[in-house]
Amino acid sequence: NRGAFAGGVDELSIYDTALDSSAVAGLYAAVTAVPTTAPMPTAAPQIAPTASDPLVARYAFSNGLAAEDSDMYLDGTVYGANVTAGRDGGDALAFYDSDAYVEFPAAVTASLTGDASRTICLWLKLGNISTSNGAIFSYGTSYGNDAENGMFALETLSNGTHFGVDFLSEYYDAEVTIGAAGDLKWHHFCLSYEYPAWVLYFDGAEAASGNAPLNTGSSNALRVGAHPNRGAFAGGVDELSIYDTA
């Protein structure tokens, strides 16, 4: 019931899943140059199908801007923060008072409310100024009848070695001591949540964990640096990444 195809065919691959655009691009990129001598038969390139990308947004803070790597509609707005040298010689942002913060559009955390799974990672270089309840990052509901368990935040508590995992819970917020963080060098932090468990990672290793209910609201947009009802974070921030999975 079909006519005959006239032409050549090479390297047929069949998958039991739908390939996304990056996998298809990988298949195309795997094509080798035309050989100048008779080639030996070679196997078709093996491109593993990729799962949906859990990355929601990523910010390198180049040139002191909060531009998202691939979607301008997710760009944040920088208020009062200064450009400083990043961990790899590029740019980062420096925060020193309550007027310095970055605010991101609601779309960044739209799927990361309630008890949805999430992870927020960033590089920090803590300043030599002690801050209490200094908001490294935070978003959610911070007041009113829906405030209980309504925040998702990581804070500095004092002297660069004490941190708060803050869900604004009457029953559960955690204080974590990380002595190595107070050396005024760049360190990597990630806070992840998958109901009912949270984990705080420091330089790639688990630093603390626990169980807690979450009902993160949407009243306050994601901010890095100062946040309503929280103090100011003092230090540098680089390479913020936000994921919709733990």
Four-residue CA torsion sign, 217, 222, 228, 233: positive
Question: CA-based angle 99:104:106, to the nearest 5?
Answer: 130
Residue 173 near residue 152, CB atoms below 8 Å:
no
Copy the structure tokens of residue 51. Answer: 């799962």
pLDDT value of position 244: 96
pLDDT beneath 70, residues of the chain? 1-4, 6-11, 13-52, 128-132, 142-148, 159, 170-172, 228-230
What are the residues facing 44 on neighbouring strands? none
Closest of 115, 121, 113, 78 to residue 225, by C-alpha: 78
Integer Cα distance of 142 and 147 in angstroms = 5
Closest of 75, 28, 61 to residue 47, by C-alpha: 28
pLDDT value of position 32: 40
Integer Cα distance of 134 and 233 in angstroms = 4
Residue 72 near residue 80, CB atoms below 8 Å:
no
What are the residues facing 166 on neighbouring strands? 153
Name the pTM for this structure: 0.76
Residue 126 near residue 75, CB atoms below 8 Å:
no
Integer Cα distance of 217 and 141 in angstroms = 5
Q: Is 3 exposed, middle or buried (0-12, 13-18, 19+ CB in 10 A)?
A: exposed
- Burial profile 166-203: b = 16 or more Cβ within 10 angstroms, e = fewer: bbbbeebbbebebeebeeeebbbbbbbbeeeebbbbbe
pLDDT value of position 232: 77
